[in-house]
Copies of this chain bind each other. A is one copy, B any other.
Amino acid sequence: MPGNSFGVLFRITTFGESHGPSVGVIVDGCPPRIPMDENVIQEMLNRRRPGGSSASTRRKEADQAQILSGVFNGLTTGTPITILVNNKDADSSAYEPYAEIFRPGHGDITYQAKYSVRDWRGGGRASARETVGRVAAGAVARALLTRNGIGIQAYTIELGGIVAAGRDLHAVDQNPYGCPDMAAAELMEKRIQSVRKAGDTVGGIVEILAQGVPPGLGEPVFDKLDADLAKALMSIGAVKGVEIGEGFQAVRLLGSENNDPILPDGFASNRAGGILAGISNGDTILMRVAVKPIPSIAKEQQTVDVSNSPQTISIKGRHDIAAIPRINVVCESMVALVLADHLLRQEVIA
């Protein structure tokens, strides 16, 4: 029944509800003697906070990280690292209308079915606010990965039907949508504005790169690197699809087109996305995730209440228009957690 832990050797457990006192995470298994302080965490949490783009909610959360354990004199000690973020701007009264009614596209109805009780304030545990713990833990994982020369970057390649034409990674930080195509980013801004006016929401596609991953990571036959990445990414609330390398495009290639020729200085192409037989091959790991539109919409929808009587619902309040770009750092964090875990798992052999 417990499902709030992730990872085998670099293992995290997240906790907290959207409108409870706090959200946070315990990281158990981080190696000792890694430089760590609250700034390392805060830098990543800040990327998750709303405010950068028109797509974001106006809920204001300082998201101030406190480290409660596992760090001493600026170094990790090998004991569990607990990171706490207190909830500040939680206005539960706005949610009272939804205490007895199920919002379509949300987990209200399934949490009720599963537990026969639920914290309905702000989506409770099913809120995207839960990802604070993931990002905080991801920051710790990244400190370990950076020491090993591994870097991770996520960027938006599609949003509300606008597709990035290129992959100018320098542009990613230059626009509010994390898009590697400045012209597309401008169109995304217009698209978001118009969708917001219509009381609707949009989805998109995030692409994630992991560079510098050594060959040999991944544990066949079930804890393959791609399998664990798929689980990690699919466990993010809004994600409905995951692909590695060519992904769904690979099905239209011939074997002779899809195989990456091997040359003495590396692979001649990277259709595999850096993973062969579930083990990293030393090339860039390439992933894409499908992000569904935010289900909280102002438009009227049909639904039922807890007595299964028909109702209509129109969700007001401070909601994102798209999970992108705030989700991008969450994707990076989940990839970081998988890679940190598998890096340690491979150290057992090496």
Contacts and interface: CB of A to CB of B under 8 A. Distances in A.
Interface of A: 1-6, 8-11, 13-17, 20-24, 26, 28-29, 31-33, 66-70, 72, 75, 77-82, 84, 102, 104-107, 109-111, 113-119, 124-126, 130, 158, 161, 195, 198, 200-205, 215-224, 226-235, 237, 240-248, 250-264, 268, 272-273, 275-282, 290-297, 299, 301-304, 308-310, 344-349
- Chain copies in the assembly? 4
B3 A223 contact: yes
A212 to B, nearest CB: 15
Given A242-B234, A279-B107, A304-B262, A130 B215 contact: no
Given A201-B255, A248-B290, A252-B203, A348 B9 contact: yes
Given A14-B80, A116-B33, A302-B263, A221 B256 contact: no
Nearest to A3: B219
| Residue picked from A3, A257, A264, most chain B C-beta under 10 Å | A3
B15 A224 contact: no
16 contacts: A15-B26, A15-B80, A16-B80, A17-B70, A78-B349, A104-B261, A107-B279, A110-B281, A223-B235, A226-B235, A240-B247, A241-B241, A242-B242, A242-B243, A248-B248, A255-B293
